[in-house]
Structure 1
């Protein structure tokens, strides 16, 4: 079966085709433009950019793929929760429904978060976990949640939040610190490159209570470090060490409370090599490959294939 995936998140337009027979994924995506010095996009701007970019991106995909599709999967909301909504996803939903109607193909809607989890399962070679209970972290600019994922008879899986940030998301912290230092938004790759130049290793005081965390402190501390003349590479390293230690503490809580369940990490922040290597070496966790950590349409294409075969 070959499925089309569409995801129009707050910062990336993504389309892909998934062939379940070969396991091959062809994906195309474009970051939405954010002006220098700004820390994000208004929803109206995101909708405009998705509308302008989706057709040429889709054309590029099918120029390379050139085959038929059997079903369509699309991200329709941020999370599987009542009231979860962002206007940017309407662009993808409308495109999916139009294509489905024209081609007489079924359209399946999923949450953006479920797509991240499915993409992580696929790219880490752990698709077998889709029928088991496991702990997943979705760590990005829009979400920092620890989830208990369970098989579900009505959909591929259900998720229960067992820990989350009470203020800033991890990706927000990275971007705010990065913009502070003059980096381009989104700042993850540049901040990581800076941090890798540092010879320092920090043991910051973090704020984790139960499964929940607070990350506003890292922004304030990094601002003070810069004001005191600390080298940018050390500030970047402190920021990432703070986030990593926070995630480690949350993981300890989850394993203590829910037992030795498999661990899966997804979301753009988890493409960071510093954070990945520490958590993987300590907990033996599985991670989405970097190209599937950031926003993508692969996950919803995979979930569409699962739904069509039920």
Structure 2
């Protein structure tokens, strides 16, 4: 008897990118990201503008992710969504959409802590990449959060160090703004630093 495929739609809306991915039995079938260019003129993410852009982007991004995966929405087994941490308005857009879609399809809804998801993304099936052995030490650098985390198993994680104020990426972006570099400044500062 052949096993049935499990398709999970993942929705990410914690900051300024609207993203959706479809996984089949732990392997990525599609991954669509809509980047918000509006923040470039401000040199950083403006929360209200981010949430409005999520409202515009979420339907086409999810539609593209499902189509690229080669399935229909009725084949989905569940919907995972970013519950937090992140920008409140942005999270509400993703949460509301995920809840509505899961209710309409009568499928399970899976809340995801996006900081834990960064650490557990290493366990997504991908050719050429080995999964880490437990325990391992993880460094997360995401939005307003920079953490060093001891990961004992899938459900046991301990933050052993974190920033008190800005995350590393935000500090890079603020320095980039002071140097009159385009937003986001982090990648350019990294590039120029490597070139000396």
**2:28 alignment partner in structure 1:** 24
- Pick 1 or 2: higher relative contact order, CA cutoff 8 A, min separation 6: 1
How far residue 28 of structure 1 moved from its aligned partner, in angstroms, is 0.3
Determine the structure 1 residue equivalent to 2:177: 179
Shift in CA distance, 165/34, structure 1 to aligned 2, threshold 3 Å: same
Distance 2:158 2:28 in 1: 30
Contact in 1 for aligned 2:38/2:49 (Cα 8 Å) = no
Higher mean alpha-carbon deviation, 100-109 vs 182-191, is at 182-191
Q: Deviations over 1:230-277 (max 9, x none)?
A: xxxxxxxxxxxxxxxxxxxxxxxxxxxxxxxxxxxxxxxxxxxxxxxx
Q: d(CA) in 1 for partners of 2:108 and 2:131?
A: 23
- Unaligned runs of 5+ residues in structure 2 are 1-5
Q: 1:137 to 1:55 in 2, by over 3 A?
A: same
> Which structure features the higher share of strand residues?
2
* Cα-to-partner distance string for 1:108-166 (whole Å, 9 max, x where unaligned): 1011112211223436835454xx33221111331111112233xxxx42322111122
Match of 1:163 in 2: 161
Q: Post-superposition shift, 1:189?
A: 2.3
CA gap 1:138/1:115 in 2 versus in 1, 3 angstroms:
same
Q: TM-score, normalised by structure 2?
A: 0.84
In structure 1, the gaps of 5 or more residues are 79-83, 199-310
Tell me the CA shift for residue 34 of structure 1: 3.6
- CA RMSD, Structure 1 to Structure 2 (Å): 2.2
Identify the range of structure 1 (165-174 vs 11-20) with the bigger mean alpha-carbon deviation: 165-174
Secondary structure of the residue aligned to 1:185 is coil
CA–CA distance in structure 2, aligned partners of residues 191 and 109 of structure 1: 35
Aligned partners of 1:158, 1:7: CA distance in 2, in Å? 23
The corresponding residue for 1:70 is 77
Give, in angstroms, the shift of residue 98 of structure 1.
1.2
Which aligned segments of 4 or more residues in structure 1 are displaced greater than 4 angstroms?
A: none
For the residues of structure 1 that align with 2:135 and 2:24, how far apart are their CA atoms?
26
Aligned pair 1:142/2:144, yes or no?
Answer: yes
SS in 2 for 1:160: strand
Check whether the contact 1:37–1:182 (CA below 8 A) recurs between aligned residues.
no
| Of 14, 38, 49, the match for 2:19 | 14
**Residue correspondence of structure 1 range 119-268 to structure 2 within 5 A:** 119-122=121-124, 125-127=129-131, 129=133, 132-151=134-153, 156-198=154-196
Specify whether residues 53 and 94 from structure 1 end up closer, same or farther in structure 2 by C-alpha distance, changes over 3 A only: same
Report the 3-state secondary structure (helix = DSSP H, G, I; strand = E; otherwise coil) of the residue aligned with 2:164: coil
Larger radius of gyration: 1
